[in-house]
Amino acid sequence: MIKLSVSISRPVGWLVVFITLFLSLGVIQPTLAHPMPNSVVLLNVHANRIDAELQIPLVELQSAWGHAVNDSSAGLIARLGPQLRDYLKSHIRPQSPGGCFWTVSVNDLVVQETQNPIVGVYRELTAHVQLAPPVGEDVRHFTFRYDAVLHQVRTHKILVAVRQDWERGQLAEAAPVQVGEISLDIVNDRVLPLPVNLASGPAGPGSSWTGFVAMVKLGTQHIAEGTDHLLFLLVLLLPAPLQVSGKRWGRFGGIRYSMRRLLLIVTAFTLGHSITLLLGSLGWVRLPSQPVEMLIAMSILVSAIHAVRPIFPGRETWVAAGFGLIHGLAFASTLANLQLDTGPMALSILGFNVGIELMQLVVIGLTVPWLMLLSRTPTYSYVRIGGAVLASVAAVAWIIERSSGQPNSLTRSIEHVVSYAPYLLAGLAVLAIYLSWRIRQQRTVS
């Protein structure tokens, strides 16, 4: 038993008590004691195989395997890569209900290192493994025999979870769903295999329709959370109802004129981002994310300047299509990260695009009518210029953030303001209705 003494000084003594209590609860782990972290297995379920990602703490692997993989982790994969693959393969044996063992392939190995001020340096091996059942066997129903590290370190635990199961509507964007835990059966002194049944649960066995609907939802969510994408489109639509008078924006061009321009701009933007969404998702076009995100911010700035003073009058359709190509590359990165097979990927591209368009139509439908009403009033110039100035500030803030990689106070303020978007939209609607009513009253009186 450990005795604590607080006689040195009361504050220091209570600090020691506080830290010790936290250590006993497992909140803080001492750097010298054995931390006993867990391994994690994340499953990506496909039609005829499972791609698994194994996350193994090197300090535990060193104890189990005998090699200095944690103490000497530099160049580990180059030095011991083949032996590591053989070790892992010998400890992974998925088995179908009929007794047939699956084919196991150990692919990429990566060592990751993080620095924690409390526990110090933490090193982890990430291994990508492909598990394939025999022909005709069910990929969703098997016994998972896996005891890497656990065969020697008896206190070790292995947490198994599904990260992605497209046919059941579970995507890697969401939190993994835990399947179970592999640990030592203390009573019988043996490691029990984990029965896995991915066809059970409230969602049922899943289908292509379920996966498609999940991608539609992901598309709507992506746009709903993509403030920069919507801001570009809305700012570009701000002057759409107006005619050009010299080098300035003039009066309201009429309903037919306005609707035609709005339809052309929205359609061009849709076609632009749909093209690069398809090409990027299939891996035919790839650009680093940082320049793409910076170009998206630049597109907002250009649109905002155009909303103040026409810089490309009559060519808004082409501008929307051109910048739509850039926005589509950002959309494509979300799908590419899912790493789906050809069939699911094709349906995912369609579903994701449908979700994007649905959310765009909802936002446009809730915003454009009030802009159309306001554009008939003298007040609209203040709304247009004010909106353009705010969009310019947001664009500059995003450009700075995305070029430096560091958030700033302006971007945090933007996120705060966006949370009040429904109230701002309601205020815009009230203002539009009120001013339209005032104009009608004045005409009636005159």
Q: Are residues 237 and 349 in the same domain?
A: yes
Which of 168, 184, 205 delimits the end of a domain? 205
Q: Are residues 315 and 214 in the same domain?
A: yes
333 in any annotated domain:
yes
Predicted pLDDT of residue 200: 63
- What letter does residue 134 receive in the DSSP assignment? P
**Confidence band of 205 (pLDDT split at 50, 70, 90):** low
387 in any annotated domain:
yes
Predicted pLDDT of residue 28: 34
Predicted pLDDT of residue 156: 94
25 in any annotated domain:
no
pLDDT of 81 strictly over 50: yes
Which of 145, 176, 205 delimits the end of a domain? 205
Q: Are residues 186 and 225 in the same domain?
A: no
Closest CA to 30 of 20, 17, 38, 39: 20
pLDDT of 7 strictly over 60: no
Q: What are the tens digits of pLDDT across the range 213-236?
A: 999 999 999 998 888 999 999 999
Residue 239 near residue 384 (C-beta atoms within 8 A): yes
Q: CA 313 to CA 337: how far, in whole Å?
A: 38
Over residues 239-262, mean pLDDT: 91
Q: Are residues 53 and 148 in the same domain?
A: yes
pLDDT of 17 strictly over 80: no
**Confidence band of 94 (pLDDT split at 50, 70, 90):** very high
104 in any annotated domain:
yes
Q: Are residues 327 and 234 in the same domain?
A: yes
**Confidence band of 14 (pLDDT split at 50, 70, 90):** very low
Q: What are the tens digits of pLDDT across the range 262-304?
A: 999 999 999 999 999 999 998 888 888 899 999 999 999 999 9
Q: Are residues 229 and 191 in the same domain?
A: no
5 in any annotated domain:
no
Tracing tokens 């446009």 back to the chain, one arrives at 364
* Six token digits for residue 3: 């005795």
Min mean pLDDT across 30-39, 264-273, 332-341, 373-382 is at: 30-39
Q: What are the tens digits of pLDDT across the range 69-80?
A: 998 888 999 999
Q: CA 399 to CA 293: how far, in whole Å?
A: 8
Contacts of 282 by beta carbon, 8 Å cutoff, 6+ apart: 345
| 52-82: b (≥16 Cβ within 10 Å) or e | bbbbbbbbbbbbbbebebbeebeebeeebee
Q: Which domain holds residue 392?
A: 209-445
32 in any annotated domain:
no
Residue 402 vs residues 224, 293, 333, 342, 390: alpha-carbon distances, Å: 20, 7, 16, 32, 18
Mean pLDDT of the chain: 87
Residues facing 116 on adjacent strands: 120
15 in any annotated domain:
no
pLDDT of 151 strictly over 60: yes
Over residues 167-171, mean pLDDT: 92
Q: Are residues 286 and 307 in the same domain?
A: yes
pLDDT of 26 strictly over 50: no
**Confidence band of 204 (pLDDT split at 50, 70, 90):** low
Number of separate domains in the chain: 2
pLDDT of 30 strictly over 80: no
Q: Are residues 264 and 338 in the same domain?
A: yes
Over residues 176-180, mean pLDDT: 93
Q: What are the tens digits of pLDDT across the range 347-371?
A: 999 999 999 999 999 999 999 999 9
Which of 161, 184, 205 delimits the end of a domain? 205
Q: Are residues 213 and 174 in the same domain?
A: no
If DSSP codes are grouped into helix, strand and coil, which group holds residue 101? strand
Q: Are residues 366 and 431 in the same domain?
A: yes
Over residues 138-162, mean pLDDT: 95
Q: Are residues 224 and 279 in the same domain?
A: yes
Q: What percent of the chain has pLDDT over 90?
A: 66
Q: Are residues 337 and 323 in the same domain?
A: yes
27 in any annotated domain:
no
